[in-house]
Amino acid sequence: MAKLGTLTRAIGVITSGTIAADETITVAGKVYTFVAAPSAAGDVDLGADDDESLDNLAKAINLSGTAGTEYDTDMVVNEHVTAVSVGDGATVNVIAKMPGVVGGFIPIAESTTGATVDATLGAGTAGAGNPSTAIAVILDTMQLNSEVIAALDKLDASASAGV
């Protein structure tokens, strides 16, 4: 079985466009709202331009910027992904924390007038967003084998029995 550390992590791309106040980008189910002055959980500073807005988004996802300035003080780190600003901030790569095909199921959505996003991390790669294909890829690349399936079945049976 392939070790998780050797598997590729799915990557999604967010590309800068016109981002206005109250527009959102949702990553792994967490909604990030662009506002002039962050004051609620999920708020990200709109920034002086679109590139700065996306840079602030990456910082909010990672919780690596200045709370209260670049994002709200109630922001929590995204449990499923990390983000990296590329170049001058015009692009943010969103990277799954879970390696392998499973990371390809992490959704990204936007309600902006100009920013573009991949629908899922790893869009265009084998298995991304398609459960049937993903399962085949997982089995073919030995990310999940019969031993793991048997262990999961035991856990499921224990949970069902209330153990």
* Number of domains into which the chain is organized: 1
Residue 39's pLDDT band (cuts 50, 70, 90): very high
Residue 124's pLDDT band (cuts 50, 70, 90): very low
Q: Which residues of 3-18 are buried (b: 16+ CB within 10 A; e: fewer)?
A: eeeebebbbbebebee
pLDDT (tens digit per residue) in 61-73: 999 999 999 999 9
Would you state the structure tokens that stand for residue 58, as one six-digit string? 């990456």
Domain around 14: 4-161
- This prediction has a pTM of 0.75
